[in-house]
Chain A
Amino acid sequence: MTIKYTKEHEWLRVEGNIGTVGISDYAQEQLGDIVFVELPEITKKIIKSDTVAVVESVKAASEIYAPVGGEICEVNQALEDNPEKVNAAAMDGGWFFKLEINNIDDLDDLMDEATYKEYVEGLE
């Protein structure tokens, strides 16, 4: 399953028309210990770049933006009791939400793995 990234460090994996969204390992490390995640409501309709979720670290709140537009169909309930999962498993178990993608063209400007890696190296 190919993975795509945004400049704001969200990742997206697409299977059929369902996208799973999380934040990158780089992002969780920058944020530090995560203590709370505010997830969207299921059936919420979002457009690309909308603020969809909020992740609270010890020091501050950060917004999570939609890499693509669609309708929220599932959220990661495990994060309610264990927000630290985002730190421990940002790239898989720490996923935030799934959505039914409504416009596949939204993926066009997302970065692939190699491009994102270069992008992050440029930030450090």
Chain B
Amino acid sequence: MSDNNNQALKQTPLHALHLQHGGKMVAFAGYELPVHYQEGIIAEHLHTRKEAGLFDVSHMGQLILRGDNVAAALETLVAGDIQQLAADKLRYTVLTNDNGGIIDDLIVTNHASHLHLVVNASRKELDYNHIASKLQGRCTLEERHDRALLALQGPAAAAVMARMAPACRHILFMTAQPLKVAGVPCLVSRSGYSGEDGYEISVPADDVEHVARLFLGEPEVKPIGLGARDTLRLEAGLCLYGNDINETTTPVEAGLSWTVSRRRRAEGGFPGADVIVAQISDGVKRKRVGLRIAGKAPVRAQAEVMDNDSNIIGEVTSGGYGPSVGGPVAMGYVDVADAQPGSEIKFMVRGKLLPGRVEKLPFVKHRYVTR
């Protein structure tokens, strides 16, 4: 299966496994990946929130950054606090541009001797070139093509992990642990993109099929495709780069000011810091919000959001069906005057105005294990 340009799609090391499990393969960020398996998106989504789902996220970029004062070096490119990120801890942060826009959102893990970055597949080449060129001479950047990435998400994930990796410590959310899973040295972090408890596991590419099969052999675990990955994160109010955040959205507009610590606000030293700090103190013109649709028709990205007088007040950036919510949900940017939860709004869909309202995110409560 190839895309319209006839450029061959890349495959992850789990390609054969996806086909064996009846994966419906589609093109995503230059990769051939399953949008769902035999049960379909809704069943896979519900299973993840009920038990545990295993996701192949090997298309994402895993980058290793090394150097003297590597944390200080990375801070010149991201808005987050990396210097005070303790060893074995993870942080969600953003690479910014000179306008305060977001180049990518990423997870940074402090492994003492180096930083481990996980970046979006659609941005990894750009991120690599950006970081490598900006930090040239100061740090070395390596993409780990030899590593795959699995995500195990859901309330049963911890029990499964305890069985699969008996040396597993009870690590809390946003903490990493090097761990042997079925004898294979992996890097396990308690993190994810579903709003549920769970783990992300960096596995040597040569061993990931074996490890994935073992996880899938556990009674609670089913394979989950990209379709459910998207419905889970949408319900959890998590951003998708390219939809909800991009080079024209600042972290403040996106509701991600919390990623900019007090110290970084005071000290700056990252691209667009002046714009971002001004927005934090003076406010923004538009905000990313949750959008609830009154009826049953889904409202999708790029639909216009209007007020009750039919003025355009915003745009949907992500939208679709939420299986746990049992109806359509969306996220988008709305003029700050209309961005209060409960504000009544309308969506333009196929020439009709559909009613809805602004709603606080997330649509489904997060169940991270933070204590």
Task: Please report A residues at the B interface, Cβ cutoff 8 Å.
Answer: 32-33, 35-36, 38, 54, 56, 58-61, 80, 83
Contact B42 A33 (CB under 8 A): yes
Which of B96-104, B162-170, B292-300 is near enough to bind chain A?
Answer: B292-300
Contacts of A33 in B (CB 8 A): 40-43, 321
Contact B227 A59 (CB under 8 A): yes
Contacts of B231 in A (CB 8 A): 58
Contacts of B300 in A (CB 8 A): 60-61
Contacts of A54 in B (CB 8 A): 350
In the assembled complex, the Cα of A54 lies from the Cα of B352 at a distance in Å of 13
In the assembled complex, the Cα of A80 lies from the Cα of B41 at a distance in Å of 20
A32: contacting residue among B227, B296, B328, CB under 8 A = B227
Contact A56 B40 (CB under 8 A): no
Contacts of B43 in A (CB 8 A): 33
A38: contacting residue among B36, B41, B297, B323, CB under 8 A = B297
In the assembled complex, the Cα of A32 lies from the Cα of B350 at a distance in Å of 22
Q: Which 9 A-B pairs have the closest CB atoms?
A: A35-B321, A33-B42, A58-B41, A33-B40, A58-B321, A36-B296, A36-B297, A56-B298, A33-B41
Contacts of B298 in A (CB 8 A): 35-36, 56, 61
Task: Please report B residues at the A interface, Cβ cutoff 8 Å.
Answer: 24, 35-36, 40-43, 227, 231, 296-298, 300, 320-321, 323, 328, 350
Q: A32-B41, A56-B297 are in contact. List 13 more A-B contacts (CB 8 A).
A: A32-B35, A32-B36, A32-B227, A33-B321, A35-B42, A35-B321, A36-B296, A38-B297, A56-B321, A58-B41, A58-B42, A58-B323, A59-B35
Contacts of A58 in B (CB 8 A): 41-42, 227, 231, 320-321, 323
Contact A32 B321 (CB under 8 A): no
Most buried by B among A38, A59, A83: A59
A25 to chain B, nearest CB (A): 14
In the assembled complex, the Cα of A33 lies from the Cα of B228 at a distance in Å of 11
Contacts of B36 in A (CB 8 A): 32
B316 to chain A, nearest CB (A): 13
B299 to chain A, nearest CB (A): 10
In the assembled complex, the Cα of A80 lies from the Cα of B36 at a distance in Å of 25
A101 to chain B, nearest CB (A): 26
In the assembled complex, the Cα of A76 lies from the Cα of B63 at a distance in Å of 53
Contact B350 A38 (CB under 8 A): yes
Contact B320 A59 (CB under 8 A): yes
What would 5 A/B residue contacts be, using CB atoms closer than 8 Å? A32-B35, A35-B42, A36-B296, A36-B297, A61-B298
A51 to chain B, nearest CB (A): 10
With contacts A35-B321, A38-B350 known, is A59 near B41, CB below 8 A? yes
A86 to chain B, nearest CB (A): 13
In the assembled complex, the Cα of A61 lies from the Cα of B300 at a distance in Å of 9
B10 to chain A, nearest CB (A): 21
In the assembled complex, the Cα of A71 lies from the Cα of B82 at a distance in Å of 66
B354 to chain A, nearest CB (A): 11
Complex: chain B residue closest to A56, CB-CB: B298
A60 to chain B, nearest CB (A): 8
In the assembled complex, the Cα of A79 lies from the Cα of B350 at a distance in Å of 19
Contacts of B328 in A (CB 8 A): 35-36
In the assembled complex, the Cα of A56 lies from the Cα of B323 at a distance in Å of 14
Contacts of A38 in B (CB 8 A): 297, 350
Contacts of B297 in A (CB 8 A): 36, 38, 56
Contact B320 A32 (CB under 8 A): no
In the assembled complex, the Cα of A98 lies from the Cα of B42 at a distance in Å of 29
In the assembled complex, the Cα of A6 lies from the Cα of B297 at a distance in Å of 26
B260 to chain A, nearest CB (A): 34
Contacts of B296 in A (CB 8 A): 35-36, 80, 83
Complex: chain B residue closest to A83, CB-CB: B296
Contacts of A35 in B (CB 8 A): 42, 296, 298, 321, 328
Contacts of B323 in A (CB 8 A): 58
In the assembled complex, the Cα of A32 lies from the Cα of B35 at a distance in Å of 10
In the assembled complex, the Cα of A83 lies from the Cα of B231 at a distance in Å of 18
In the assembled complex, the Cα of A59 lies from the Cα of B36 at a distance in Å of 11
Contacts of B227 in A (CB 8 A): 32, 58-59
Complex: chain B residue closest to A30, CB-CB: B24
Complex: chain A residue closest to B298, CB-CB: A56
Complex: chain B residue closest to A87, CB-CB: B40
In the assembled complex, the Cα of A121 lies from the Cα of B323 at a distance in Å of 32
Complex: chain A residue closest to B36, CB-CB: A32
In the assembled complex, the Cα of A83 lies from the Cα of B327 at a distance in Å of 12
Contacts of B320 in A (CB 8 A): 58-59
